[in-house]
Copies of this chain bind each other. A is one copy, B any other.
Amino acid sequence: MALTQLTVVDTAVDILQQFGLADLSMRRLAKELDVQVGALYWHVKNKQELLAQVAAKLLNTPQLSVKAEEFNAPADAILQLARNLYLALLPIQDSPEVIEVATAMQATELAPVLQLRELLEAAGLSSENARHGQQLLLNHILGSVAFRQNLVQLDVDSPISDGFDWALQRAVAGLVN
């Protein structure tokens, strides 16, 4: 199999999903691809950039986006999108850290995160306030996923409702009046 940017990133996604971020090292990745570590650096600049591309692969899927016209209120579309993100990230170990790396270097556009802002504007917020609301909701999604995943690690039995949704509803209500 030819070593390309695509195969590198896809294998990285695989390792992340199966074993978590702690096992997603450049060396482990090289071993999985049957090459030397140095070879990876011909296809990706560094680990940060790799993680940003992993995040893009995870989020830039049409499955996550939401069709605004299918909801009678923008707030409902926002709630649905936030839930989609939460549920998609939950089963992927350490996904919040990966997403944070990607948004920190803002090199990559994460479609559902952009849509979050668009929907807030559609709900009547100024473009500035839509950015701030986006931040609040993203913080809540990533923080809640991280918190839940930590519970699993300490194998506490996770209840079906973990309070994410209640707080999400209150936050959206506060944002769109």
Report how many copies the assembly holds. 2
* Min CB–CB distance A142 → chain B (angstroms): 7
0/1 interface trace, chain A 141-177, chain B, CB 8 Å (1 if under): 0111011001001100000000110110011111100
Q: Is A139 an interface residue (CB 8 A)?
A: yes
Q: Which of B132, B139, B150 contacts A142 (CB 8 A)?
A: B139
Interface flag for A44 (CB, 8 Å): no
Max chain B C-beta neighbours (<10 A), residue from A136, A173, A175: A136
In the complex, what distance in Å separates the CA atom of A104 from the CA atom of B154?
9
Which of B136, B143, B144 has a CB less than 8 Å from the CB of A167?
B136
Interchain CB contact under 8 A, A128 and B170: no
Knowing A139-B143, A143-B138 are in contact, say whether A167-B132 is a contact too (CB < 8 A): yes
* Contacts from A to B (Cβ < 8 Å): 100, 103-105, 128-129, 131-133, 135-136, 138-140, 142-144, 146-147, 150, 153-154, 163-164, 166-167, 170-175
